[in-house]
């Protein structure tokens, strides 16, 4: 081999080695070296969203094995990559920790790579010129500021401080409504006089980018707050309606385009302390953005596809919130409903909030649970049935195993009582509520809890289970009065085919049902226990006689026979199977214990209590009803007149609601 060939080989090897070295260095630096072409639009929200999407996509898709890392560095970067992928997926399910992780990464990318500084950040949001800030910008700044001090109570503190949850008239409307307007947000922003550091400003921008990239648009921060719920797409004009109007009424369409008439995508409502409040200052902006939120908000645990064929989905989010999503053509617009349940506050003491007579009411409810009574909790939607049920469960004896059946996981009892024997089942597309309740019979449960008796099979099985399958049962229902509750359960038994005769079905219901707790939400959103009602079955008495044997004439025998026949037809056609009396009522802002509990229920409650509770319960009975509770109460179909023990209007009597 000549010297020339050797030199050529060395040169080629050198060039190849340099090329390999340069390629490796370029890939190693791929995660940190980003060239940004700066122009007038570089620091707008839209451009930064594009950058963040592209950059995070690069980080999650890079092949770590091609960049010549050491074993330790490879392992570290693999863990970091896996953690980011997991967070990007989890944050779309409502996980606040994953959301925090993704936002921190976006913060670093914008500050260290994109070159966001104090001088150019105002191109994204006009922090330095308040007159250019929109109502949504000001709200985002207010929430960011309050969140630093109050955490997830930020929205609650803001509403309470400025008394925003009140009825008010809005321009163009003739009736008052619960609404928070743009004008109110602008006034509050001026009063607060908030001073933001660069980190604060970037934090607000990061939140705006996140909510359009991985979050839930304008409701992203609102959804995380400790409120009762949030919904969207439930008011305003549907897109389909606008297309029809465009052909006939151009003036009306101009009003819509100028945002004088709200569209469906302008519809954002919160459920706050029993009140539905419209956030007039917030909007999704476009129908496409509302659709994106609806398509993402229900995806936790892969519940299936929301399609035109299957136009709704009921699911839970990662933080335990219940979410319902609907879409056209099942509904007129895309819409969602998120309902939150604060398990930390679900106690009876928190529910009654220190109103007059609440201590005696709480004590009575505890004894009903400890006495293993079958209890229904009734009332309209949003009146607090689930919260009341969660508070009552605290008083079930530790020795009892609890089995729960729900449509979607809402109670989350194991979060509150992690050491107790509790298992919850729910309906799925392939397993009905009836099948779930059948399985419960084989899981050694002492107490059956049914989140909501909403279907005929579940109602009928609940009655059967209460008779034989468990010690006692707690359930919720939407009945308005006690007779309505009995009738609804009876009709469910008939429709499910368990019974054919109305009287027989009703008799089974009243023999099972012991007490009903009825909750009410008034016009101002205040929630309270309107009454606690006891169901008292009326025992059938044999009133037939044999007087016809003593009659000498045939006419006399016929008269006595027809007397018995009349009694028979009265029992068949008009017999009253139960009476009901209110043992507690809400009278003029005060809870009053009224009629005594029947002797039969008192006796059975005593049997199911331990010695300590039994002694306290006897004192409670003696204190409120004295000797009346020791006497067998005669129940008839006539109302039982009882005088209230305290001042106030006369409580309702036994068969009155």
- pLDDT tens-digit profile of 383-430? 888 888 888 888 899 889 999 888 777 788 888 888 889 998 888 778
Give the residue from 121, 52, 123, 113 showing the smallest Cα distance to 88: 52
Tokens, residue 351: 């529910």
Please give the order of strands across the beta sheet that includes 422-426: 422-426, 402-406, 447-450, 472-477, 375-378, 515-521, 527-537, 578-587, 590-593
Please give the pLDDT value at position 349. Answer: 82
Residue with tokens 């970067």: 77
DSSP string over 255-271 = HHHTTSS-BGGG-EEEE
Please give the pLDDT value at position 524. Answer: 74
Q: Is omega for the bond preceding 329 within 30 degrees of 0, making it cis?
A: yes
Give the residue from 541, 533, 622, 612 showing the smallest Cα distance to 575: 541
Please give the pLDDT value at position 289. Answer: 93
Q: Is the dihedral of CA 502, 508, 510, 513 positive or negative?
A: negative
Count of C-beta atoms within a 10 Å radius of residue 426:
18
Query: Angle at Cα 617 formed by Cα 379 and Cα 401, nearest 5°?
Result: 65
Alpha carbons 629 and 632: distance in angstroms, whole number: 8
Please give the pLDDT value at position 649. Answer: 45
Burial of 292 from C-beta contacts in 10 A (0-12 / 13-18 / 19+): middle
Alpha carbons 92 and 215: distance in angstroms, whole number: 6
Alpha carbons 461 and 438: distance in angstroms, whole number: 8
Q: How far apart are the first and last CA of the chain?
A: 112
CATH number of 366-540+577-596: 3.40.50.300
Architecture in CATH for domain 131-207+216-340: 2-Layer Sandwich (3.30)
Residue ranges of the chain with per-residue pLDDT less than 70: 1-2, 5, 11-12, 14, 16-40, 65-68, 172, 240-260, 342-345, 469, 540-545, 548-549, 567, 569-575, 627-657
Count of C-beta atoms within a 10 Å radius of residue 66:
10
């Amino acid at each position: 081999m000549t010297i020339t060939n050797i030199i050529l080989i060395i040169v080629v090897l050198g060039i190849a080695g340099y090329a390999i070295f340069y390629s490796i260095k370029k890939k190693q630096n791929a995660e940190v070296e980003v060239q940004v072409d700066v122009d007038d639009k570089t620091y707008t929200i839209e451009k930064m969203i594009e950058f963040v999407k592209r950059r995070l996509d690069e980080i999650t898709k890079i092949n770590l094995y091609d960049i010549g890392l050491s074993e330790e560095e490879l392992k570290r970067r693999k863990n970091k990559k896996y953690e980011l992928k997991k967070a990007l997926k989890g944050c779309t399910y409502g996980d606040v920790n994953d959301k925090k992780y993704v936002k921190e990464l976006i913060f670093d990318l914008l500050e260290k790579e994109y070159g966001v500084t104090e001088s150019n950040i105002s191109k994204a949001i006009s922090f330095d010129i308040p007159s250019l800030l929109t109502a949504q910008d000001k709200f985002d700044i207010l929430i960011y500021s309050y969140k630093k001090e109050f955490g997830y109570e930020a929205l609650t503190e803001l509403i309470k401080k400025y008394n925003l949850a009140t009825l008010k008239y809005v321009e163009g409307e003739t009736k008052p409504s619960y609404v928070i307007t743009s004008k109110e947000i602008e006034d509050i922003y001026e009063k607060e006089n908030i001073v933001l550091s660069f980190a604060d400003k970037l934090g607000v921008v990061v939140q705006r980018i996140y909510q359009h990239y991985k979050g839930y648009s304008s409701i992203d921060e609102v959804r995380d707050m400790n409120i009762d719920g949030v919904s969207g797409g439930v008011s305003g004009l549907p897109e389909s309606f606008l297309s029809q109007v465009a052909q006939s009424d151009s003036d009306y369409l101009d009003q819509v385009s100028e945002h004088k008439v709200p569209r469906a995508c302008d519809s954002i409502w919160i459920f706050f302390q029993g009140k539905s409040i419209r956030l007039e200052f917030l909007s999704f902006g476009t129908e496409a953005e509302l659709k994106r939120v609806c398509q993402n908000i229900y995806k936790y645990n892969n519940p299936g596809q929301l399609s035109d064929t299957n136009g709704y989905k009921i699911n839970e989010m990662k933080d335990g919130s219940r979410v319902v999503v609907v879409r056209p053509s099942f509904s007129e617009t895309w819409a969602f409903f998120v309902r939150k349940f604060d398990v930390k506050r679900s106690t009876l003491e928190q529910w009654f909030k220190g109103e007059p007579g609440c201590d005696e009411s709480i004590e009575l409810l505890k004894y009903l649970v400890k006495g293993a009574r079958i209890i229904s909790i009734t009332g309209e939607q949003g009146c607090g049935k689930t919260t009341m049920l969660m508070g009552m469960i605290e008083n079930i004896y530790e020795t009892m195993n609890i089995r729960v059946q729900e449509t979607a996981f809402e109670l989350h009892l194991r979060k509150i009582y992690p050491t107790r024997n509790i298992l919850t089942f729910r309906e799925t597309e392939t397993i009905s509520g009836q099948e779930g309740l059948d399985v419960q019979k084989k899981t050694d449960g002492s107490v059956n809890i049914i989140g909501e008796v909403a279907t005929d099979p579940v109602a009928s099985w609940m009655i059967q289970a209460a008779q034989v399958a468990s010690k006692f049962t707690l359930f919720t229902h939407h009945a308005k009065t006690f007779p309505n509750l009995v009738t609804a359960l009876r009709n469910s038994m008939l429709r499910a085919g368990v019974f054919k005769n109305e009287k027989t079905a009703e008799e089974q219901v009243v023999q099972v049902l012991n007490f009903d707790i009825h909750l009410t939400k008034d016009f101002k959103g205040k929630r309270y226990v309107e009454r606690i009602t006891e169901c008292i079955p009326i025992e059938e008495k044999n009133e037939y006689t044999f007087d016809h044997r003593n009659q000498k004439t045939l006419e006399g025998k016929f008269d006595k026979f027809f007397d018995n026949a009349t009694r028979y037809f009265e029992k068949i056609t008009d017999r009253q199977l139960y009476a009901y009396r209110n043992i507690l009522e809400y009278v003029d802002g005060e809870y009053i214990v009224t009629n005594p509990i029947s002797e039969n229920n008192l006796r059975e409650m005593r049997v199911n209590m331990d010695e300590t509770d039994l002694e306290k319960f006897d004192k409670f009975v003696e204190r409120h009803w004295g000797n009346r509770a020791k006497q067998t109460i005669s129940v008839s179909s006539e109302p039982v007149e009882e005088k209230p023990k305290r001042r106030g209007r006369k409580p309702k009597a036994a068969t009155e609601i």
